[in-house]
Structure 1
Amino acid sequence: MNLPVVIDYEDGISAIDAQFHRPRRAAIHLIVENGSAALIDTGTNFSIPGVVASLKQKSIAKEAVAYIILTHIHLDHAGGASECMRLFPNAKLIVHPRGASHMVNPARLVAGAIAVYGESEFKRVYGEIYPIEANRVIEAVDGSTIELNGRPLLFLDTPGHARHHNCIFDARSQSFFTGDTFGVSYRELDVDGMEFVFPTTSPVQFDPAAAHHSIDRIMSYQPRHAFLTHYSRINHLTRHAGSMHELIDAHVEIAQRARDHQDRAAEISGALTDLLLNQLTKHGCRLAQVEIKELLQSDIRLNTQGLIHWLDQPTDRFKQL
């Protein structure tokens, strides 16, 4: 196999390309502290050979992996967790309390993903998902801290994208590992060092009020960087937090306008495409519109599905996994 692209940052942090659908779509973040390692998110089963190869290249033994940390249990983030636990004998799995039971018994998680993607596509993209022994799973409650060889990692409950979502604050680098809470930012859309960030409202637990609150909570720590699963480190967080707030509201407005439309999916998808194209034009993006549409088509499809699901929920509750 070809080695995945690895970006090495300061403070012992690296991003390993999960090779999810295409290069630079999903990152697995590695933290190394005095010989001990933690992985934040895992990609899918098909990402793990690249992780193993990257660790070998860095002379990190499998036995040195102390933690597999999941920001949340959507399978582009957690699909490789069971394979990691098989390969890394000393690792503990750290996961939000709402997600822990689904790692121990993944049947409902798999069924939910198959409902979104279809069984054949699920197998092609994710492969097999296996149960993880309960005694190797640690539930990271809000405000809890684990130490990686003396390096504290703080866990915050950050719903909005999913109700089983944690963000992880690393005081050493003054950075958050944000999963999907702080949105998506593809490096292809950077313009002269400035990133473009937009929300992910994929099914089934989008909650705009919670999303706004989680962004504000992240920013209250005055972080220097955010490490997004899609895709890795961004700066200029004050600017991006403002953009995220505006774009969450814009997504909600698009969904509400389409509530009674005969073809809500087409209406929402078209409006989201127009929204992001307009924003990227203002951003100064140099890609042709056809390239942008190809790059964002999967995100727009999933955001559309999530907004339709949100429209169909009673206002006082959201479906839980």
Structure 2
Amino acid sequence: MSDWRDYGNGIIAFDAGYVRPLLAAIHMVVERGRVAFIDTGSRDTLPNALAALRRLGLPTTAVDYVILTHIHLDHAGGAGSMMAAFPNARLIVHPRGARHMAEPSKLVAGVTAVYGADYVAKVYGEILPIPAERIVEAPDGHVIDLAGRSLRCLDTPGHARHHICIVDQASGGIFTGDMFGLSYRELDVDGRPFIFPTTTPTQFEPDEMRTSIRRLLDLQPEAVYLTHYSRLTDVPQRGAELLHRLDALIALAEAEVGAGEQQHARLKQAMTDYLLAQVREHGCTLEEATVLDCLGTDIELNTQGLCVWLDTRNGN
């Protein structure tokens, strides 16, 4: 396993094995020998999840829950495989996402429209349906009991309308999926992380995102645990940076209203220039090509999401 982070509070992160190292983290909450996995990566994650259980000396029957922050396939693509491997587990998901986990054809079609069929087949493979009787819908305030450890679900739209965050009462941390942005460990400078928002298609809504981020900040968490990539502390500072960069990306998008067929290309270049400048201001000295290898996919998806938002806002 290429990455293993035991935070000493019953929370462990390991690399999902999704696309490249340190792109996506899977989090485990372990309480008195019982386990909850938070997010599932793709089909390639299951071997790492099984290895994680073996490392802890736990059987597959110790897994009580598989929790999805949302149903984008880098978070939920491996859910069917995990549920098949963990016979006692129940799947926890936003009510808007439950039917797509039981019958994933529309979900796969939507992802295929963004990435293309060849990419989906290569990276995700077959997305297995999950029996409806094993799926638990988690509306706002839903509480999961993991061997006496309370995990509270929050409805947090903005990145997607089917997004939840999970508050761990024991550690004071929050598992934020994509709601608290992206922060890749390669861009850390002297222990300081670089963070930026994810505005991917097709349900990005800036006002809702701001509200959700502020709701998380109001809870004053000890730490946030991002799927991309794992634990951040000094949460108020990170939140301020995240909101500032969200406003900046919105301004870049609004500047391209009326650009017509050039809108996507112009916005993508403007976002690339902005994020590279922000990374340099952060103190990162990596080669530009290395930074773009890290951020390139997110820049493209963020651009798509902002363009969809502009079109939707303008009634197109």
Superposition TM-score tier, normalisation by shorter sequence: over 0.9
Residues 225-263 of structure 1, C-alpha deviation per residue, up to 9 Å, x if partnerless?
Answer: 000000000111111111111111111111111122141
1:256-267 matched pairs, under 5 angstroms? 256-261=254-259, 262-267=261-266
Asked if 2 retains the 8 angstrom alpha-carbon contact of 1:4 and 1:50, the reply is no
Find the partner of 2:175 among 156, 161, 177: 177
Does the Cα contact within 8 Å between 1:4 and 1:18 map onto a contact in 2?
Answer: no
**What is the aligned-residue identity percentage?**
50
Aligned twin of 1:75? 73
Q: Counterpart in 1 of 2:62?
A: 64
Q: Which TM-score applies when normalising by structure 2?
A: 0.98
Gaps of 5+ in 1: none
Query: Post-superposition, which runs of at least 4 consecutive aligned residues in structure 1 deviate over 6 A?
Result: none
Query: What does residue 242 of structure 1 align with?
Result: 240
Tell whether the 8 Å contact from 1:85 to 1:93 is kept in structure 2 after alignment.
yes
Residue of structure 1 equivalent to 2:296: 297
Aligned length: 315
The answer to whether 1:281 aligns with 2:280 is yes
Q: What residue in structure 2 maps to residue 136 of structure 1?
A: 134
Shift of 1:4: 3.7
Cα deviation 1:138-184 (Å, max 9, x = unaligned)? 00110111110000001000011000000000011110000000000
8 Å Cα contact 1:18/1:26 also seen in 2: yes
- The letter of the residue matching 2:94 is H
Residue 208 of structure 1 corresponds to: 206
Between the aligned partners of 1:282 and 1:314, the Cα distance in structure 2 is 32
Query: Shift of residue 10 of structure 1?
Result: 1.9
Partner-residue secondary structure (3-state), 1:129 = coil
Structure 2 stretches of 5 or more lacking a match? none
In structure 2, give the amino acid aligned to 1:15: A
Aligned mate of 1:104, from 98, 102, 106: 102
Asked if the contact 1:142/1:156 (under 8 Å) is kept, the reply is: yes
Give, in whole Å, the separation in 2 of the partners of 1:228 and 1:200. 12
- In 1: Cα distance, 2:287 partner to 2:268 partner: 19
1:306 Cα shift? 0.7
Residue in structure 1 matching 2:29, options 18, 28, 31? 31
Secondary structure of the 2:91 match is strand
Distance 1:62 1:277, change over 3 A: same
* Aligned position for 2:306: 307
RMSD: 1.2
Q: How does 1:158-177 map to 2 (within 5 A)?
A: 158-177=156-175
State the distance in 2 between where 1:82 and 1:150 align: 26
SS at match of 2:294: helix
CA drift at 1:266: 1.1
